[in-house]
Amino acid sequence: MSVLDHLRGFLEELTAIRQDLHAHPELGLEEHRTAELVARKLAEWGIEVHRGVGRTGVVGVLRSGNGRQAIGLRADMDALPITEATGLPYSSRTPGVMHACGHDGHTTMLLGAARYLAETRAFNGTVNFIFQPGEEGIGGALAMLEDGLFERFPCDAIFGMHNRTGMEIGRYAIRPGPIAAGGAFFDIVVSGRGAHGARPEASIDPVLAACHITAALQSIVARNLRPADAAVVSVTKVIGGDAYNVIPQTATISGTARFFSNEVRDQIEAGLKRVAEGVAAGFGATATVDFRLIFAPTVNDPAQTDAYADAAADLVGEDSVDRDRLPGMGSEDFSFMMERVPGAYIHVGNGEGAQAHHPAYAFNDAAIPYGSALYARIVERRMPKDALE
């Protein structure tokens, strides 16, 4: 029986788990119910369970044979602060919180792989099932790392995945090197001198300076970076003042930067400070910049990428595996784990529908076996049962 066929044998149970998780979403580092469900299922299948890794993270450990190699499989668990608009019978029961990115599906996929591997034991070594909290910019990967994730659960390689709306069920996409952008948030506080709105000559207008800074920031990507270095600098908020007739003392510019290398990240940070401070000074104001790294670039190790793609091809055939997927500007904090351990991150087809982070987004349960089977197959390929130690 193939891995996919085996997993389809308990798809009904996995679907029920996924829909239960969807109905009870929890925000980052608050996934107490989710973590308990995960831990209970792992224990039920005879897997060693470790709770509270990085606050609400869970790690399951499964050993088979005498192999000394260890593989890490990772899934994220958290939801988003979005009000659901799907109308599904198992819609979120938590007001203002929704699984709008499919992390309920990712958690279920990894649970499916755990059950399969616990039943078959068709590998020789150790599998660490890593259920990560707080992926959505909350710092969950770093929390697990700071809690000694890889010291307590050593891994020779790690593998993660994400569903992809717009890609057919049963298809996979991956590439070596950067596959998802690093991400940073920034706040620029422009300080001037407040005054009555009818007496602008008495002011140093921070709102005017902020508007010029906002326009000038676009020069960082357009004129400071090489055209080959794809990057984004987006201002998403400009806030200043509370009254129609008052020029405020300060104005704040906020936004995000995306990049595929740490070198470009450093260039963007330096450019933000140079432009903000220089333009502000031209208006007699001052500017301070707070630049915060939220996600490192997600960079696939070439050898692990080939192994993951080969495992996918085992399941669905080479024609259904895109090995040269264009990198995306979205970010993923699995990147911090991949800075410590060589690994690979792949997209799994989720069919048509609303994109992630949209109130109408819906994870497709038909994708569950393909995620679970790939997690399982990479373990079987990397740590074959008949390997000699």
C-alpha separations of 115 from 4, 12, 44, 49, 378 in Å: 13, 14, 9, 13, 15
Distances (CA, A) of 241 to 187, 198, 207, 288, 360: 16, 15, 8, 18, 35
pLDDT at res. 273: 98
Question: What is the C-alpha separation between 308 and 359, in angstroms, rounded?
Answer: 32
Pairwise CA distance, residues 247 & 309, whole Å: 58
Total Cβ atoms within 10 A of residue 320: 16
Rounded distance, CA 63 to CA 65, Å?
Answer: 7
8 A C-beta contact, residue 42 and residue 49? yes
pLDDT at residue number 359 = 98
Q: Give whole-number Cα distances, 90 to 102, 231, 361, in Å.
A: 14, 38, 13
Residue 209 CA to residue 238 CA, distance in Å, equals: 11
- pLDDT for position 388: 52
Distances (CA, A) of 50 to 37, 99, 193: 13, 24, 55
pLDDT at 376: 98
**Domains of the chain in sequence order:** 3-179+298-382 (3.40.630.10), 182-295 (3.30.70.360)
Helices and strands per DSSP (H, E), number in the chain? 12, 16
Rounded average pLDDT per 10-residue block, the chain, 389 residues: 95 98 98 98 98 98 97 98 98 98 98 98 98 97 98 98 98 98 98 98 98 98 95 97 98 98 97 98 98 98 98 98 96 97 98 98 98 98 81
pTM over 0.75: yes
**So what's the pLDDT on residue 184?**
98
The two tokens of residue 56 are 């609400």
Token pair 């990115």 is found at 101
Q: In the prediction, which pLDDT does 389 show?
A: 53
Q: What is the pLDDT of residue 1?
A: 86
Angstrom distance (rounded) from CA 388 to CA 245: 79
